[in-house]
Amino acid sequence: MPLTNLQTRAVETLVHPYTNQATFRDTGPLVLERGKGVYVYDTEGKPYLEGMAGLWCTALGYDNEELVEAAAAQMRKLPFAHLFTAKSHDPGIELAEKLKEIAPVPISKVFFCNSGSEANDSQMKMIWYMNNALGRPNKKKIISRVKAYHGVTIASASLTGLPNNHIDFDLPIARVLHTSCPHHYRFAKDGESEEDFATRCAVELEELILKEGPDTVAAFIAEPVMGAGGVIVPPKTYFPKIMAVCAKYDVFMISDEVICGFGRLGTAFGCTTLNYKPNSISIAKALSSAYLPIGGVMIPEEMYQALITESKKIGTFGHGFTYSGHPVSAAVAIKTLEIYKRDRIFETAAKNAPQFQKRLHALANHPLVGETRGLGLVGGVELSADKRSKTPFDPKKLVGPKLVGFAQAGGLIVRPIGDVISICPPLVIKPAEIDELFDKLAVALDKTLDWAKGEQLLAAA
Ligand SMILES: Cc1ncc(COP(=O)(O)O)c(C=O)c1O
């Protein structure tokens, strides 16, 4: 199909993130124009059920007037004010207070930024700063995990454990290490139980800390459920075992709640569902239901005390973004948190999760599906050329993107992570819409199966 005028303009003007810049010149983008509820509409008026809540973020859907009003009111009152050099504003203060109230662990202060990447960058800088303040300048290495996703800035992309974020970007930077990924289906040994696999992950973390030297390891960072690495739900006992290792070697634990925070797993923060208590927390995305960019780092008292120590020594805390705690973003986030509480959004998500998970896991019987996995209102469907041997498809055949193309043609947006199809709808999705989502996904799976058979991609039966 020839590209439309808007598609051509997009191709000629924009670098689209996470897009194959070469093939994109021929395919062009899907151009969206408006949204309502859990649906978005393209420029031809065709509706799509937004099965990914944008990028795991539009928790309240696409037409929340209260959020629009909150932004407009704040824009009229004070469209910008910063938090630098001892200045403050009401929305920033109130939002920090509200976050402290709902935090799953004792939080002393909140530092605001604009994105998940900036939150994780800030975490890393503050941990280095803290350990300098505490007189342990060698304790600086940060351990992340293979397949983790923590963002794309130089520090956060280094924490990310995915090849495409490293290759030819000359990353990761020094002092960032990656330990094993807690994905039982892919990485467990033959016959290894989930429990034994979780134990091995913890042992491997301990071995890495000992190899590097505990005096050099500052922190461990993890998402409760790994999102952009392929929706990976760890074994039940994984985090308690990992936390014991962190505690043993005085390793600070950062929970990256950029996807799992704010109800995605049915609780306010993912660490509660996964049964661990981090030292600090990164937030973004659903903090404002993505209506405006805002992220944050929720820090404990010991880290705050270190900022005071360093301020006494240096004269200031030399970190912050022009838009840290932007008053309009903060006002929208305050309203978002108010709606979450008033409308019991997390509880409703938790109530709808069994239906979502049931429909997700029913897909496991499909000939193309190797594994289905999920928790709360997030799910992943891993495609496989051979169910029994778990053989993946040749990545060059782009089976996942093919399926996503069929889904899109059928009015459903989901995302391919290689051959894992990720699903993460707005938290306000209704039971009938959950059914519609999975009905459409099942049709796309069948179409992909027919295509894959034609291409002879499946292992012989
Ligand atoms: C767990 C996690 N951390 C950090 C990020 C980076 O956030 P951003 O894209 O806002 O920089 C993401 C983005 O998807 C994420 O999923």
257 lines ligand 1 (CB under 6 A): no
Task: List residues bridging with 222 in a β-sheet.
Answer: 255
At 211-242, the pLDDT tens digits run 999 999 999 999 999 999 999 999 999 999 99
By most ligand atoms within 8 Å of CB, the mutation choice from 285, 287, 323, 422 for ligand 1 is 285
121 lines ligand 1 (CB under 6 A): no
Coil, helix or strand for 319?
A: coil
Q: Kindly report the protein residue whose alpha carbon is nearest to atom 16 of ligand 1.
A: 259
Q: What is the DSSP letter of 278?
A: -
Cα distance between residue 261 and residue 64, in whole Å: 20
- Alpha-carbon 310 to chain mean position: 32
336: left (phi over 0), alpha (psi -120 to 50) or beta: alpha
Nearest atom (ligand 1) to Cα of 285:
10
Say how many Å lie between the CA of residue 150 and the centre of ligand 1: 5
Task: List residues bridging with 48 in a β-sheet.
Answer: 40
Omega before 172 within 30 of 0, i.e. cis: yes
pLDDT at 461 over 80: no
259 lines ligand 1 (CB under 6 A): yes
pLDDT at 337 over 80: yes
Concatenated DSSP letters of 91-147: HHHHHHHHHHHH-SS---EEEEESSHHHHHHHHHHHHHHHHHHTT-TT--EEEEETT
223 lines ligand 1 (CB under 6 A): yes
Nearest atom (ligand 1) to Cα of 227:
16
Arithmetic mean of pLDDT, 91-96:
98
At 160, is the pLDDT very low, low, confident or very high (cuts 50, 70, 90)? Answer: very high
At 1, is the pLDDT very low, low, confident or very high (cuts 50, 70, 90)? Answer: confident
Coil, helix or strand for 300?
A: coil
Work out the end-to-end distance of the chain between its first and last CA atoms, rounded to an integer number of angstroms: 36
Mean pLDDT of the chain: 97
Q: What is the pLDDT of residue 165?
A: 97
Arithmetic mean of pLDDT, 12-26:
96
Arithmetic mean of pLDDT, 1-24:
95
Count CA within 13 A, CB hemisphere, residue 176. 22
At 459, is the pLDDT very low, low, confident or very high (cuts 50, 70, 90)? Answer: confident
